[in-house]
Amino acid sequence: TITNDPYTLEYKGLRLYADLGAEKLLAAERAEQKIAVEIKVFNSLSQVTELQKTIGQYNMYRSILRRVNPDRKLYLAIPQEVYQDFFQQPAIQDIVSDQTINLFIFDPDKEVIIQWLN
CATH number at residue 70: 3.40.1350.10
CA 28, 30, 32, 38: dihedral to nearest 10 degrees?
-40
**Residue 62 gets which letter from DSSP?**
H
Task: Tell me the per-residue pLDDT of 28-53, one tens digit each, with 9 for 90 and over.
Answer: 556 677 888 888 999 999 999 999 99
Sheet with 103-107, side-by-side order of all strands: 2-4, 25-30, 33-39, 73-79, 103-107, 112-117
CA 44, 49, 53, 54: dihedral to nearest 10 degrees?
70
> What is the extent of the structural domain holding 117?
1-22+42-74+83-102+113-118
Q: How many domains does the chain have?
A: 1
Residue 15 in domain: yes
Q: What percent of the chain has pLDDT over 70?
A: 83
Residue 30 in domain: no
Residue 31 in domain: no
Nearest C-alpha neighbor of 74 from the set 11, 3, 25, 16: 25
Q: What percent of the chain has pLDDT over 90?
A: 53
CA distance 33 to 29: 5
Q: Which amino acid is at 91?
A: A
Residue 29 in domain: no
pTM metric for this prediction: 0.83
Mean pLDDT of 67-94: 94
